[in-house]
C-alpha cells in the first residue's frame, strides 16, 4: 500500500501537465470558434460576392424636332421719318400770328405762321405803280417812234433821230419788263408772309413767339420756326455686318434668296415691349458702300403706319429672311454643351451609352436652337439630366418631347 501511494505521488505532476495542455487546447478551440462566429456576424449579407453596382442615372431623351421653317436674322435699328422739314421764313419781318398747336398733326398746305404783311403790301403797291410809269413811258416812246418814222419817210427827220426814238422805245419796254418782275417779286414776298406746311405730318413746337423779329431770305442765317416729320409710311434704318451682307449677296446670286436691292424682301419689326412681330414692311434700300471704319453697311426698310403709333427716333428690332423655307432639326438650347469653342450634344446609343457629338448650331427659332449639322433625325438627344450623364457611361433613358414655344406641351 505504501509503495502504491509513493508511485501515485510520483505520477501526479505528469498528469497535471497533461490536464493543463488539454485545457489550453480546448480554450484555443473555443476562442477560434468565437472569432469565426463574430467575423461571420461582422460581414454583410452576400459576402461571398461583390456588392451590387448602383443603377444607371435616369435622363430624359428625345429625337430632334423636324420642322419646316425660314431662318430669320435680327438687327437693332431706329425708326426715321420719310420726310423731315425745317420750317424757316423766306422773308424777314415781325411774327404776327401762329395757327397751330404744338405737336398736332398738320396737312400739306395748312397755314402755320403769318409775318406782318403790311410792309410787303406797300412794296407791292409801289412795284405796281412803277409798272404804270413804265407803261406810260413805253407808250410815249412808241408814239415818238411813229412820228419820227413818218417824218423820216418825208425826209423831214434824220435817220439818227429815228434811231434815238427806237432806242428810247426799247429802253422803255425793258423798264416795263423790270417793273413787272418787281411786281412778281413783291407778290411772292407778300405770299411768303403766310407760311404753310410743305408736307403733312406731326409738327414740333414753335421756336419763335409772336412779336419776335424773324430773319428770312435765301442766304445767310435764317430763323428756324418749327419742324415737321411725316409719319405714314415710316422708315427703319439698321446696320448689318459685312459678313451678313456678303451672305445675302451669295444667296441672291445662287437663287436661294430674293435680292436685297429689288424692294421686295418682306421684313418684320417689333418694339421693345412687343414679343411678336406685328409690323410687316419691305426692305427698300441698301447703301452703296460699306463703312470702312465699322465694317457695316446701312440698310433701310419701310413700314406702313396708319395709326401713327410709330414715332421717328424710336428703337426697335427688325428681322429679315436668311433662307428659303426648309426642314430643319431643332433641339432645346439647354441640350447644347460647350467644350471650349465647340458645341456638343449628348446622344444615347441603343445600349444606353452616352455618346457626345459635335454640332454646328444656328439661330434660335421659336424657343429652340436650329442645328445645321452634326446630328440626324434618328439620333436620341438628352434634353434633361445632362449633369448626370458622362461620355461613355450608361444611362437609363426616359422618353421626352421637344415642342416649339408656341405649341402646347403634353402632360
DSSP 38-70: HHHHHSPTTTTSPPPPPPPPEEEEEPPEEEEE-
- CATH 2.40.30.170 domain locations along the chain: 72-81+237-321
The dihedrals phi and psi of 287, each to the nearest 5 degrees, come to: -60, 165
Residue 229, SS3 per DSSP: strand
- The closest of 258, 248, 194 to 225, measured between CA atoms, is 194
Q: What digits encode the pLDDT tens for the residues 331-345?
A: 999 999 888 888 999
The dihedrals phi and psi of 322, each to the nearest 5 degrees, come to: -105, 0
DSSP state of 208: S
Q: How many residues does the chain have?
A: 411
Residue 17's pLDDT is 52
CB 233 within 8 A of CB 304: yes
Look-up of cell digits 419691305:
282
- Using a cut of 0.75, tell me whether the model's pTM lies above it: no
CATH number, domain 60-68+326-399:
2.40.420.20
CB 330 within 8 A of CB 368: yes
Cell of 113: 405762321
C-alpha 264/C-alpha 242 separation (Å) is 21
The CATH superfamily label for domain 72-81+237-321 reads Efflux pump adaptor protein, beta barrel domain (2.40.30.170)
Residue 276's pLDDT is 86
C-alpha 318/C-alpha 307 separation (Å) is 19
Residue 157's pLDDT is 67
Residue 332's pLDDT is 92
* Of 10-24, 190-204, 315-329, the least confident: 10-24
Residue 372's pLDDT is 86
Architecture per CATH, domain 84-229, reads as Beta Barrel (2.40)
Residue 171, SS3 per DSSP: helix
Residue 221's pLDDT is 86
Whether a cis peptide bond, with omega within 30° of 0, leads into 284 is no
DSSP 207-257: SS-TTPEEP-SSSS---EEEEEE--SSEEEEEEEEHHHHHHHHHHHHTTSS
- CATH 2.40.50.100 domain locations along the chain: 84-229
- CATH 2.40.420.20 domain locations along the chain: 60-68+326-399
C-alpha 12/C-alpha 18 separation (Å) is 10
pLDDT at 47 over 80: no
Residue 187's pLDDT is 92
DSSP H/E element including 160: helix 159-192
Beta-carbon neighbour count of residue 71 at 10 Å?
A: 17
pLDDT at 2 over 50: no
Pure H helices in 288-329: none
CB 195 within 8 A of CB 99: no
- The closest of 86, 50, 96 to 221, measured between CA atoms, is 86
Q: Could you tell me if residue 186 is left (phi over 0), alpha (psi between -120 and 50 degrees) or otherwise beta?
A: alpha
CB 60 within 8 A of CB 380: no
Q: What angle do CA 234, 239, 245 make, to 5 degrees?
A: 115
Amino acid at each position: 500500500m505504501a509503495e502504491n501511494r509513493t508511485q501515485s505521488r510520483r505520477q501526479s505532476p505528469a498528469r497535471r501537465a497533461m490536464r493543463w495542455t488539454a485545457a489550453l487546447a480546448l480554450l484555443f478551440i473555443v476562442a477560434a470558434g468565437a472569432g469565426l462566429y463574430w467575423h461571420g456576424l461582422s460581414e454583410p449579407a452576400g459576402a461571398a460576392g461583390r456588392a451590387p453596382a448602383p443603377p444607371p442615372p435616369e435622363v430624359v431623351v428625345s429625337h430632334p424636332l423636324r420642322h419646316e421653317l425660314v431662318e430669320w436674322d435680327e438687327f437693332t435699328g431706329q425708326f426715321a421719318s420719310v420726310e423731315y422739314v425745317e420750317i424757316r421764313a423766306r422773308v424777314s419781318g415781325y411774327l404776327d400770328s401762329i395757327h397751330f398747336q404744338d405737336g398736332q398733326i398738320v396737312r400739306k398746305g395748312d397755314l402755320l405762321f403769318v409775318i406782318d404783311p403790311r410792309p410787303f403790301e406797300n412794296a407791292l403797291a409801289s412795284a405796281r405803280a412803277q409798272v404804270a410809269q413804265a407803261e406810260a413811258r413805253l407808250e410815249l416812246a412808241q408814239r415818238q417812234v411813229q412820228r419820227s418814222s413818218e417824218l423820216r419817210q418825208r425826209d423831214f427827220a434824220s435817220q439818227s433821230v429815228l434811231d434815238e426814238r427806237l432806242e428810247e422805245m426799247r429802253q422803255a419796254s425793258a423798264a416795263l419788263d423790270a417793273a413787272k418782275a418787281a411786281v412778281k417779286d413783291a407778290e411772292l414776298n407778300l405770299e411768303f408772309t403766310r407760311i404753310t406746311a410743305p408736307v403733312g405730318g406731326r409738327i414740333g413746337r414753335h421756336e419763335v413767339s409772336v412779336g419776335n423779329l424773324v430773319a428770312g431770305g435765301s442766304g445767310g442765317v435764317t430763323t428756324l420756326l418749327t419742324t415737321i416729320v411725316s409719319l405714314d409710311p415710316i422708315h427703319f434704318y439698321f446696320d448689318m455686318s459685312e459678313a451678313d451682307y456678303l451672305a445675302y449677296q451669295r444667296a441672291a446670286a445662287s437663287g436661294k434668296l430674293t435680292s436685297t436691292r429689288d424692294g421686295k424682301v418682306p421684313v418684320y419689326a417689333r418694339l421693345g415691349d412687343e414679343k411678336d412681330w406685328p409690323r410687316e414692311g419691305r426692305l427698300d434700300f441698301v447703301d452703296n458702300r460699306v463703312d470702312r471704319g465699322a465694317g457695316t453697311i446701312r440698310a433701310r426698310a419701310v413700314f406702313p403706319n396708319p395709326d401713327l403709333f410709330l414715332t421717328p427716333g424710336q428703337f426697335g428690332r427688325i428681322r429679315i429672311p436668311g433662307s428659303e423655307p426648309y426642314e430643319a432639326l431643332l433641339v432645346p438650347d439647354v441640350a447644347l454643351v460647350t467644350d471650349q469653342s465647340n458645341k456638343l450634344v449628348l446622344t444615347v446609343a441603343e445600349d444606353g451609352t452616352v455618346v457626345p457629338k459635335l454640332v454646328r448650331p444656328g439661330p434660335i427659332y421659336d424657343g429652340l436652337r436650329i442645328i445645321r449639322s452634326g446630328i440626324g433625325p434618328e439620333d436620341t438627344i438628352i434634353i434633361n439630366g445632362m449633369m448626370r450623364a458622362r461620355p461613355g457611361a450608361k444611362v437609363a433613358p426616359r422618353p421626352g418631347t421637344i415642342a416649339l414655344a408656341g405649341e402646347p406641351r403634353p402632360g
